C-alpha cells in the first residue's frame, strides 16, 4: 500500500493560483514588516511565493517568505493551485495594491521574464518580479529539540523588558534581551548600561530543559515576535535554535533570526541587595507628576530630582531654557531624607510598561546607588523589577 505523497513545493514552474484576498492580505501583513525598506540587494525587497498542490489535487497551499538576511518570516494560506511553482513579487508594491482591491478571489500567474499577472474582478495588473533562483535560502525549522513556551507569558515578558534594550550598535551584546529557560520558570532581562529590566515567571512547565538555557534574542526579532504573539490565538509557541539561528513557530508562521553572539553581562551582580528605604505610590499619580515636571527638565539629560522627606515625595526639575517645576505626592515615608536624580524618560518607560492601575514601590539605598522600582501588587508567580542608575544633578 502506498501512502499519498506529502505536498511538495516546486522550486520552479509557472505558478498559477487563486487565493482569497482576505487571507492573502492577512499573511502579507504578517510578512511585510520583515522586508528591508532600503536595501542594496534588490531581491530582498521581494516576497517569495511558493505554491504547492496537495496530493488529492483539491486543496493547495501558498507559502510566502520575506527576509532581510538577519531575520525572515515564512507564512502560508490555503490556495487553489492550478500549477505549482514559485515566483518573487515586489513586496511593498504588492502589499499596497492588494490593500486597495475589493473582497473576493485573486488569481496570480507567473508570466514570461518573471512578470507576474494579478487579476481580481475587473482589475488586471502585471508586476515586474525577479528570478526565483536569486532569493536567499531561508533556514527550515529544526525537526527536533524545540521547546513549547506559553504565548501569554512570553508576550508579557517582552513588553516588560524591550524598552531597556540598548540602541547603541557598538554595544552589540546589549542589543537584545536574554531569555533564561529553566524546567519550572522562565526569565527575561534587558539592559542598556543605565537601567535594567528583569522579569521572572514561576510555575511554568518547560519540557526537555535540564539546568538552564540562556538565549540572547535581538531587539528586532523581539518586536517582530511581539506583533506575531499579539495577532495569534495559539496558546503556545515553539522555540528552537541551532548554531547561527533562532526559530519561533507561532501557529502557521515561522520567524527566524540571526543569533547575537557574545556574552551578556553578569546582570545578577548589579541587582540591588540592600535598598532598605522605600516608598509606595499610586502609579497614576507618579506618572502624572513625572510627566508634568519632565517638561522643565534639561532637554539633553531629561534629569529630574526625587526628594523623599517625612511622608512626602517631591519631584522637581529645572533648566536654564524652560524654567523650573515641582510636584508633591503625599505618602507614608519614615526613613532619613534622601535626594536622588533619575532620567525622567526611563521612569516613564517603566510606568507605561506596568500600566497605571495599581501601586508602585520605589526602593533606595542612597543618592549614589541604583534605585529599584517594582509593582507593589504584582502576582505571586511573576516577579518584575526595574533597576535604575542615579544621575548627578
The pLDDT tens digits for 321-344 are 899 999 999 999 999 999 999 999
pLDDT of residue 11: 43
HSE value, Cβ hemisphere, 13 Å, CA-based, for 365: 14
Contact 32, 181 (CB under 8 A): no
**pTM listed for this prediction:** 0.90
- In 207-305, alpha helices (H): 219-230, 283-294
Say whether 243 sits in a helix, a strand or coil.
Answer: coil
Q: Which residue reads 488586471 in cell numbers?
A: 124
The answer to the question of residue 109 being in a domain is yes
pLDDT per position as a tens digit, 117-152? 999 999 999 999 999 999 999 999 999 889 999 999
pLDDT of residue 57: 60
Same domain? 195 vs 252: yes
Burial state string for 361-374 with b = 16 or more CB within 10 A and e = fewer than 16: bbbbbeeeebbbbb
Q: What is the DSSP annotation of 156-176?
A: HHHHHHGGGS---TT-GGGSE
Say whether 62 sits in a helix, a strand or coil.
Answer: strand
pLDDT of residue 180: 95
Same domain? 237 vs 282: no
* CA 22 – CA 105 distance, rounded (Å): 9
pLDDT of residue 96: 96
Domain boundary pick from 90, 105, 134: 134
Same domain? 105 vs 205: no
| Cα Rg of the chain (Å, integer) | 26
**Choice between 36 and 359, residue whose per-residue pLDDT is larger:** 359
**Choice between 380 and 342, residue whose per-residue pLDDT is larger:** 342
The answer to the question of residue 10 being in a domain is no
Domain boundary pick from 101, 134, 167: 134
Same domain? 316 vs 373: yes
Q: What is the DSSP annotation of 358-381?
A: SEEEEEES-TTSPEEEEETT--TT
Domain boundary pick from 236, 268, 300: 268
* CA 14 – CA 98 distance, rounded (Å): 21
Mean pLDDT of 273-291: 95
The answer to the question of residue 5 being in a domain is no
* Residue 227 host element (H or E): helix 219-230
- Measure CA of the first residue to CA of the last residue in the chain; give whole Å: 81
Q: What percent of the chain has pLDDT over 70?
A: 95
* CA 138 – CA 124 distance, rounded (Å): 31
Say whether 265 sits in a helix, a strand or coil.
Answer: coil
Split at pLDDT 50, 70, 90, the class of 97 is very high
The answer to the question of residue 343 being in a domain is yes
Torsion (CA) 34, 39, 41, 45 in degrees, nearest 10: 40
The answer to the question of residue 3 being in a domain is no
Same domain? 258 vs 152: yes
Residues in CB range of 346: below 8 A, 6 or more apart: 194, 195, 388
Beta pairing class for 115-120 and 105-110: antiparallel
Split at pLDDT 50, 70, 90, the class of 112 is very high
Beta pairing class for 85-90 and 71-83: unpaired
Q: Grid coordinates representing 361?
A: 514601590
Same domain? 278 vs 263: no
DSSP E strands, 92-235: 105-110, 115-120, 123-128, 147-150, 176-182, 185-191, 195-202, 212-218
Distances (CA, A) of 76 to 26, 61, 111, 320: 10, 7, 22, 57
The answer to the question of residue 11 being in a domain is no
CATH of the domain at 28: 3.10.150.10
Same domain? 171 vs 196: yes
pLDDT per position as a tens digit, 6-46? 444 444 568 999 999 999 999 999 999 999 878 789 999 99
Same domain? 167 vs 263: yes
* Number of domains, the chain: 3
Q: How much is the mean pLDDT over the chain?
A: 92
Mean pLDDT of 67-90: 95
Same domain? 206 vs 286: no
pLDDT of residue 208: 81
Say whether 274 sits in a helix, a strand or coil.
Answer: coil
Residues in CB range of 196: below 8 A, 6 or more apart: 164, 189, 190, 267, 270, 271, 386, 387
Say whether 96 sits in a helix, a strand or coil.
Answer: helix
pLDDT of residue 379: 76
Same domain? 279 vs 363: yes
Beta pairing class for 323-330 and 147-150: unpaired
The answer to the question of residue 140 being in a domain is no
The answer to the question of residue 1 being in a domain is no
Same domain? 372 vs 284: yes
For residue 353, give its domain range. 272-388
* CA 63 – CA 49 distance, rounded (Å): 6
Same domain? 300 vs 356: yes
Amino acid at each position: 500500500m502506498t501512502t499519498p505523497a506529502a505536498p511538495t513545493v516546486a522550486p520552479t514552474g509557472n505558478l498559477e493560483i487563486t487565493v482569497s484576498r482576505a487571507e492573502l492580505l492577512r499573511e502579507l501583513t504578517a510578512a511585510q514588516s520583515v522586508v528591508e525598506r532600503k536595501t542594496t540587494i534588490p531581491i530582498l525587497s521581494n516576497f517569495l511565493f511558493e505554491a504547492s498542490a496537495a496530493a488529492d489535487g483539491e486543496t493547495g497551499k501558498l507559502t510566502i517568505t520575506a527576509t532581510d538576511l538577519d531575520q525572515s518570516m515564512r507564512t502560508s494560506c490555503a490556495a487553489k493551485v492550478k500549477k505549482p511553482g514559485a515566483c518573487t513579487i515586489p513586496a511593498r508594491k504588492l502589499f499596497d495594491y492588494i490593500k486597495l482591491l475589493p473582497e473576493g478571489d485573486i488569481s496570480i500567474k507567473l508570466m514570461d521574464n518573471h512578470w507576474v499577472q494579478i487579476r481580481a474582478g475587473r482589475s488586471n495588473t502585471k508586476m515586474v518580479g525577479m528570478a526565483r533562483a536569486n532569493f536567499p535560502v531561508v533556514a527550515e525549522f529544526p525537526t527536533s529539540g524545540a521547546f513549547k513556551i506559553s504565548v501569554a507569558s512570553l508576550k508579557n515578558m517582552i513588553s516588560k523588558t524591550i524598552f531597556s534594550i540598548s540602541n547603541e550598535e557598538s554595544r552589540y551584546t546589549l542589543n537584545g534581551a536574554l531569555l533564561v529557560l529553566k524546567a519550572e520558570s522562565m526569565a527575561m532581562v534587558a539592559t542598556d548600561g543605565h537601567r535594567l529590566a528583569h522579569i521572572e515567571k514561576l510555575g511554568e512547565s518547560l519540557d526537555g530543559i535540564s539546568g538552564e538555557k540562556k538565549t540572547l534574542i535581538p531587539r528586532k526579532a523581539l518586536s517582530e515576535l511581539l506583533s506575531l504573539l499579539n495577532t495569534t490565538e495559539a496558546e503556545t509557541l515553539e522555540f528552537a535554535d541551532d548554531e547561527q539561528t533562532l526559530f519561533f513557530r507561532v501557529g502557521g508562521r515561522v520567524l527566524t533570526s540571526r543569533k547575537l553572539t557574545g556574552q551578556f553581562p553578569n546582570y545578577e551582580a548589579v541587582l540591588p541587595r540592600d535598598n532598605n528605604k522605600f516608598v509606595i505610590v499610586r502609579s497614576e499619580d507618579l506618572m502624572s507628576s513625572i510627566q508634568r515636571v519632565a517638561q522643565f527638565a534639561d532637554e539633553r539629560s531629561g534629569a529630574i530630582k526625587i526628594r523623599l522627606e517625612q511622608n512626602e515625595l517631591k519631584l522637581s526639575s529645572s533648566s536654564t531654557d524652560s524654567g523650573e517645576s515641582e510636584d508633591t505626592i503625599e505618602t507614608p515615608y519614615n526613613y532619613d531624607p534622601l535626594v536622588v536624580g533619575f532620567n525622567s524618560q526611563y521612569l516613564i518607560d517603566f510606568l507605561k510598561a506596568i500600566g497605571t492601575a495599581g501601586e508602585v514601590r520605589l526602593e533606595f539605598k542612597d543618592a549614589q546607588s541604583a534605585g529599584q522600582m517594582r509593582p507593589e501588587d504584582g502576582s505571586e508567580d511573576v516577579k518584575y523589577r526595574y533597576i535604575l542608575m542615579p544621575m548627578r544633578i
